[in-house]
Amino acid sequence: MGIVSPGFRGRGRGRDVKLPPGQYLTEDFPVLSAGPTPRVGKDDWEFTVTTESGREYSWDWRQFMELPSETPTVDIHCVTKWSKLGTRWQGVSLDTLLADVDTAADYVLAHSYGGYTTNMPLEDVLDGQAWIAYRFDGEDLPAEHGGPARLLVPHLYFWKSAKWVRGLRLLDQDEPGFWETAGYHDYGDPWREQRYQGD
Ligand SMILES: Nc1nc2c(c(=O)[nH]1)N[C@H]1C(S)=C(S)[C@@H](COP(=O)(O)O)O[C@H]1N2
Ligand SMILES: [Mo]
C-alpha cells in the first residue's frame, strides 16, 4: 500500500482534478509579496489606463464601484507550484474598463502601488479573461492579497495577477515587468509550464 491513500486524486468536490504540470493542490491561500504591503486607502485609490499615445483614463474608487462587476470562480496557479481551485472573486472585467479606450496597442504593463510591474499581451486581458478584483470569497480583498484591488488573470501564472494594481500601460512593444526581468517567463502559461525564460 502506497503512501498516497486511495481516492486522494479524486479530491475537489467529486470532479477529477486536473492540474497543470508540476503543480500541487493547496486549500489555504499563501501570501507571496516581493516587498512590503502598501496600504492604499479607498479614498486615495485611483486606477489609470495610459494608452500608447499617452492618453489617460482614470477611475477613483467611487467611479470604479459604479461599473458593472462580475463574480468569476477560477483556478489559480503560482509558479512556486501551488494551485488553488475554485477561488471566488468579484471584480470589474478588463473588457468593461477598456471598452471606450482608444488603442491599437499589443501589450500591457500592469503597475502597482509599491512599484511592482508585470507584462502580458493585451489580448490576454480581453474577452472575459481578466478582472480588477476587489472581493475574495465574499469579503473585501485583504491588503496582503492585494486589496483594495488587484489584477486577476487566472489563465497565466499568478505572478501576472498584480496586487495593489494602480494602472495599466498599453504599449506597442512588449516590456518585461519585475519577475520577467529577473528571469521568469515572458508569457507564463502554466499548462505549458512556462516558468522561466527558455521554458
Ligand atoms: N504588487 C505585487 N503583486 C504581486 C506580487 C508581488 O510581489 N507584488 N506577487 C505575485 C506572485 S509571485 C503571486 S504568486 C501572487 C500571490 O498572490 P497572493 O499573495 O494573494 O497569494 O501575487 C502576484 N502579484
Ligand atoms: Mo508566485
Question: What homologous superfamily is domain 24-28+42-192 in, according to CATH?
Answer: Oxidoreductase, molybdopterin-binding domain (3.90.420.10)
**Ligand 1 within 6 A of CB of 101:** no
Label each residue of 173-192 as H, E or C: CCCCCHHHHCCECCCCCHHH
Domain range annotation of the chain: 24-28+42-192
**Ligand 1 within 6 A of CB of 162:** yes
172 vs 53, 66, 103, 138, CA distance in Å? 10, 30, 10, 37
Tell the residue nearest (CA) to atom 19 of ligand 1.
Answer: 31
CA 27 to chain centre: 19
Cα of 68 vs centre of ligand 1, distance in Å, is: 25
Cα of 145 vs centre of ligand 1, distance in Å, is: 7
* Confidence (pLDDT) at 11: 47
Report d(CA 172, CA 107) in Å as an integer. 6
Report d(CA 91, CA 104) in Å as an integer. 25
Ligand nearest to the CA of 160: 1
pTM value is 0.93
Given 3-state DSSP classes, what are the helix, strand and coil percentages for the chain, each rounded to the nearest 5? 15, 30, 55
Tell the residue nearest (CA) to atom 23 of ligand 1.
Answer: 159
Report d(CA 78, CA 59) in Å as an integer. 29
Tell the residue nearest (CA) to atom 9 of ligand 1.
Answer: 33
* Confidence (pLDDT) at 8: 45
- Report the residue among 40, 158, 166, 179 best suited for mutation to probe ligand 1: largest number of ligand atoms under 8 A from its CB: 158
Low pLDDT (below 50) residues in the chain: 1-12, 14
Cβ(178)–Cβ(34) under 8 Å?
A: yes
Cβ(143)–Cβ(37) under 8 Å?
A: yes
The residue whose grid cell reads 472585467 is 93
